Every structure is written in C-alpha cells, then in structure tokens.
Amino acid sequence: MEFIAIYLFLAVCLVLMLGYPVAFTLAGTSLVFAAGGVIFGVFDAGFLSALPGRIFGTINNTTLIAVPLFILMGTVLEKSRIAEELLESMAQVFGGLRGGLGISVVVVGMFLAASTGIVGATVVTMGLLSLPSMLRNGYSPALATGTIAATGTLGQIIPPSIALVLLGDILSNAYQQAQLNMDIFNPKTVSVGDLFIGALIPGVILVALYILYLLIYARLRPEAAPPAETESVSVVSILKGLLPPLGLIAVVLGSILAGAATPTEAAGIGAVGAIVLAIAKGQMSIQRLREAAQSTLEVTCMVFMILIGAAVFSLVFRGFGGEELIHEFFHSLPGGAMGATLVVMLVIFLLGFILDFIEITFVVVPIVGPILLAMGLDPVWLGVMIALNLQTSFLTPPFGFALFYLRGVAPSSVATSAIYRGVIPFILLQLLLLVALWFWPEMATWLPEKLKNS
C-alpha cells in the first residue's frame, strides 16, 4: 500500500499517453485514486480540504499575472507580422554569409522564443516563416529543420519566458517550504527575477554555441549552407524592422535586470508596448487584435487549468505518503544531494518524451523541489538546470514535441528522418551546456549574486 503514490503517478502518465486533456487527467485520476483510498481506509479525505485554499492562493498570486501578459506580448508580435519583418531584416544582415540564413533564424528565434515563451508557437511560426526560404536557397533539409526546431526551444531558457515564470514561482514556494521543514522560520526568498538573471548567461552561451556550430558546418560543407541571394537595401530600412522589437524586448528584460520592475510589471510593459508598436507600424487591425486576445485567452486557460489539476494531484500524492517515499529514496541514494539531482534530471528528461514542460513544472517540481533544496542545492542553479533539461527533451527523437510541431508545418518533401538527423548536433550542444553548468554552477549563480550585492 505504501507504493500507491507511485501507482498514481504512473497512472497519470499512462492516461496522458492515451491522449486525454492534461488538466482533467491530473485532477480526474487523482480523485479516482482518492475515492478508492477513502473507501479502503488508506486515504484521509481531509487532504482535499486544502484545495480551495490552493486555488484561492493561485488567484491571488501576482507573479502569475505575468503569464497572460507575456503570452499577449508574443502573440501580438506574431499576429502583427512584426516577427516576420524582424526575420527579413536579420536575413538582410546575415544572409550573404555562408550559414547566414541559419544565423538569422537563431537570432530571431531567440527573441521570438523569449517573447512568446511557448515552444509550439515558436517552432510553428519559425517553420512557416523561414523553412521555405532556407530550402529555396539550397540549405540542407536536415540543417534547416534542425536549426528551426532547436531555436524554437530557446523559449525554455532565454528570459523573459513563460517557462521561467512558472518554474520560478514553483521553486519560490518549494524553497520556502524546504526552509520551514528545516525549522528556519525567517526563510530566504528566491524570485522569478532571480531565475531570469540566472538563466541569462547560460541562454546567451547556448545561442553562441548554435551560431558557432552553424559557422563551422557552413565552412566544412559550404554546399549545405550557401549564402542567400539578398536584395540591396538601405541601412535605414534594416534598422526600421530591427530596432523596434529588439528595443521592446530590451526594455522589458532591462527593467527586470536593473530592478526597476518586477517580472509582472515588465510583462505589462511588454504587452502594452507590443500593441503600441504594432499600431505604430500599421500592422494591427481589430481582427488581428481579436485573434491575439483569443489566442492569449486559450493558452492562459490551459496553463491555469493545468495548475488547478496539478494542485489536486499534489494533495492526493502527499495524502498517500508520496513525499515521504521520495524523501527516503533520495536520502538512500549514493552521492547525497548531487546523486539525487542526477536521478531527478534523468527522470525529467524521460518525462519530457510524454509530458509538456508545463505539466512537468506543475507536477514533478513541487514534489522533488523542497526535498532537493533542503539538501542544500542553490534554487537558481536548480531552476536553470531543470529549464535546460526540459529544453533538451523537446528535441529528443522519436517523441520530442518540437519535432512533431515542425513536422506538421514542414513540406512533404522534407523527410522525417532529416528532421531527426538535424536536431542531433543541437541536442549534443545542449547536453554540453548542461554538463558545463553541472561542474560550474557559477554560470547561473554569479550574476544574481553580483546584482544583489551591487
């Protein structure tokens, strides 16, 4: 009976693989297990009495207001064709180089991923905008699709992103719970802003690794990444498409880094700024604004329904003694905190085959986070490691979600095997960064500490 919590977790994964909606799977499966537990006298229904408080706490959580605002910012940039203009401008800047179109995709994808924060939206958008152009200019299908899929996953690690907002909020609660469990009644705090700052250096390094790989590949195989045929345009026209969206993202991120605004306030600036920018460029109609608002509403409802479902799962999981079971398991592992972290990283990586980052963030992190943090791990380092890990799992064949998203918009002339081959070098680059961050945690912790002490 002590393994019922593990059976619950496995049942949730199985039902999700059958294609049922995530939020209702989490809540429904958990309630079925809870009802069975009450009938057989192995579950205290009092655990579910905490659910209204959990939901009310979610409603009152000002940090999560950033979620719909950042989504709105990204969808406005997408619907108003500002992202398309940004890609065209970057193509004019880098297109004449070998591998230049690929570099343009990486740079634009970095900014689009940061503003949208949803991997599926970024991969689909970049696939529709850039894949035909890359293939038309003679790019290898494997290189083109690999670059687009890998770039689309940058939204997991490049701030400000939805993934980091959700992960930061969960880790903040887990960090406080871990300290209270250790009888520290004046706990330290970690914020979403701290996670943004901690992810900045690893994110920039990953983008640099992508670009370096494209340059080396283009030099070794010039026929697979030839220079693009670009029209002669003025510097003014390039800057006109380049500077406004980059300036908006710089203001949003800069206000957080400088401590002038919280992530929620910066998200509000970004959303309003994106709408004003689209209107100023003559790219925003009532119809496009309605589409952006509807898309934002749909994604936001999905996120918060999953959050409520995850709250039900978490309570039932704890009610069956799952937290104590995992706590004992972690402490029995060799290697202490690092051994336990290695196991968690492996589990998250494997779960990435069947679950989206939102489900993993809401289901797995609240369970393992307090235990790992109580073992002495730095919350910012742990958050960045989890974000990088989730990013890698999106690309891993045969089940990587980014691969499915790209397959849906790629022409039939592009073989699925080419997409799989194309992402392998980028997976290796992400794993290289993950290993580097494991041995040098300062990559994630140095900048937050520096800014706090300045």
Q: How far apart are CA 344 and CA 372, in angstroms?
A: 9
What is the spatial distance between Cα 171 and Cα 195, in angstroms, rounded to a whole number? 9
Distance CA 370, CA 159 (A): 24
Backbone torsions φ then ψ of 32, nearest 5 degrees: -60, -45
- Using CA atoms, how far apart are residues 159 and 206, in angstroms rounded to an integer? 13
Could you tell me the end-to-end alpha-carbon distance of the chain, in angstroms, rounded to an integer? Answer: 53
Residue boundaries of the structural domains of the chain: 4-453
- Report whether 106 contacts 214 (CB < 8 A): yes
What pLDDT is stored for residue 384 in this prediction? 93
Q: What local confidence, expressed as pLDDT, does residue 118 receive?
A: 64
Q: How does pLDDT run along the chain (454 residues), one tens digit per residue?
A: 668 888 888 888 788 778 788 788 888 999 999 999 888 888 888 888 888 888 888 778 887 888 888 888 878 877 777 777 777 778 777 777 888 888 888 988 887 766 656 666 678 777 887 888 888 888 899 999 999 989 888 878 888 777 888 888 888 888 887 887 777 766 677 788 888 889 999 999 999 999 999 999 999 998 888 887 766 666 777 777 778 878 888 888 888 877 788 888 888 988 898 899 888 878 778 888 898 889 888 888 888 888 888 888 888 888 888 878 887 887 787 878 888 889 888 888 887 776 767 778 887 888 888 888 888 888 999 999 999 988 887 787 766 778 877 888 888 888 888 888 999 999 999 999 999 999 999 999 998 888 877 6
For the chain, the farthest-separated pair of C-alpha atoms sits apart, in whole angstroms, at 76
Judging by beta carbons within 10 Å of its beta carbon (0-12, 13-18, 19+), is residue 282 exposed, middle or buried? Answer: exposed
CA torsion 372-374-376-380 (nearest 10°) is 60
Q: Where would I find the H helices in 281-378?
A: 286-319, 322-332, 336-351, 357-363, 365-374
Angle between helices 119-136 and 100-116 (to 10 degrees): 160
Is this model's pTM higher than 0.85 or not? Answer: no
Provide the CB-side half-sphere exposure for 422 (13 A, CA): 28
CA 291/CA 28 separation, integer angstroms:
31
The three-class DSSP label of residue 415 is: coil
User: What sign results for the dihedral spanned by CA atoms 25, 28, 29, 30?
Assistant: positive
Closest CA to 447 of 171, 258, 226: 258
Which 8-state DSSP code applies to residue 2? T
- Copy the structure tokens of residue 280: 């100023």
In angstroms, rounded to a whole number, what is the distance separating the alpha carbons of residues 116 and 110?
Answer: 10
CA 301: distance to chain centroid?
Answer: 17
3-state SS assignment for residue 259: coil
Tokens 């235990």 correspond to 371
What tokens does 179 get?
């300290």
Q: Which residue has the tokens 């070998």?
A: 98
Nearest to 174 by CA among 363, 338, 300, 448: 363
Question: Following DSSP, what letter does each residue of 346-361 receive, concatenated?
Answer: HHHHHHTTTS-HHHHH
Question: Which are the contacts of 198, defined by CB distance < 8 A and separation ≥ 6?
Answer: 380, 381, 383, 384, 444, 445, 447, 448
Instruction: Quote the pLDDT of residue 398.
Output: 64
CB of 194 closer than 8 Å to CB of 221: no
Choose among 215, 261, 275: nearest CA to 82.
Answer: 275
Q: Are 269 and 248 in contact (CB under 8 A)?
A: no
